Amino acid sequence: MTARNGTATGLRGALASGRFAVTAEIGPPRGADPDAVLRKAAELRGWIDAANVTDNQGAHVRMSSLAGCLLAKQAGVEPVMQLTCRDRNRMALQSDLLAAGALGVPNVLLLTGDHPRFGDHPEAKPVFDLDGVQLTWTARTLRDGALMSGRRLSARPDWLIGAVENPFAPPTAFRARRTAKKVAAGAQFVQTQFVFDVELFERWLADLRALGVLDRCAVLAGVGPIRSLRMLDYLRSSVPGIHVPERVVRRLRGVPGDRVAREGVDLCVETIQRLAELPGVAGVHVMAVGYERGVPDILQRAGVGPGAGGGRFARASAAAAHLGTTTREGSGHAG
């Protein structure tokens, strides 16, 4: 795919070239309306390298991630298929991963998933046959040409494998080691939870650097606009592991109510610009579900992403070179 200015797009290409990568999110609808995905994809097209399509996010039933990925592709947006361990056993997970490969989904993001008790079907039985680390290893095994059982595949998938991490969840000293496990299992890129405290995020990056992770995996820092005080309160009280420093709280509470949304967007732009200057940050993951229309403005102002000119290059050159030489077997990066 090509951006508005002719720059080559695609997550793998952006990471391999060292260009500062940008991903975003598309939340599928609670229904069978394909236009709901097509509209969101159209607002992001040309401005990002790829878009996550969430998998029953927050344990709430939605259109499947795989269906959303196909619709995103139809709209000209490269998809990242999210896949959680909550709703499927190892057979179903492998089947869905193979389906994604067969249907041309180029990226997968693998995570454990929220427990059903937090969603709209709290009585549902959780599966969790595997966890996120095990599922990452499973995806790499499939890409290497075999099922978990050891039986060989007739054709190998060739997606880029991603994982998630929350650098701020306690115990924070453990987070880098957990990320290292995911990279050893096969993760080639990692998307993080919201970053509002850049200084604390830098400590996590330093821990990753000490473990040698940044040479083998691209880090995409999670960002997003806080557009209301209600959202601010929700993030601080109801989302485990999110750290919003007091200076951010004071800034958002210190403006008139009709200015909070704009101040939140300004803060997001400034955070992206700061993150883009950090060695080891290969890109950002913009989480603005329900506000897709505002993502192009955020990226344009921050000066990142293919739609904004694509001129900013990340400093994670070792990881970029590593991604550029990864084979279909995927054996070059896993410890």
pLDDT digits (tens, 9 = 90+) for 143-152: 999 999 999 9
**Whether 214 contacts 208, CB under 8 Å:** yes
pLDDT digits (tens, 9 = 90+) for 87-135: 999 999 999 999 999 999 999 999 999 999 999 999 999 999 999 999 9
Cα–Cα distance, 210 to 229 (Å, whole number): 38
Cα–Cα distance, 213 to 202 (Å, whole number): 14
pLDDT digits (tens, 9 = 90+) for 199-228: 999 999 999 999 999 999 999 999 999 999
**How many residues are given for the chain?**
335
Which residue in 16, 21, 20, 38 sits closest to 29, CA to CA? 38
Please check the confidence at residue 295 and state whether its pLDDT lies above 80. yes
Compute the average pLDDT of residues 28-56: 97
Supply the pLDDT for residue 6: 47
Please check the confidence at residue 327 and state whether its pLDDT lies above 80. no
Compute the average pLDDT of residues 134-140: 98
Which residue in 14, 330, 285, 18 sits closest to 183, CA to CA? 330
pTM: 0.91
pLDDT band at residue 82 using 50, 70 and 90 as cut-offs? very high
Name the residue type at position 254: G
Q: For domain 11-225+271-324, which architecture applies?
A: Alpha-Beta Barrel (3.20)
How far, CA to CA in Å, does 329 sit from each of 144, 155, 210, 326, 333? 4, 12, 27, 8, 10
Average pLDDT of the residues of the chain: 91
Cα–Cα distance, 323 to 283 (Å, whole number): 14
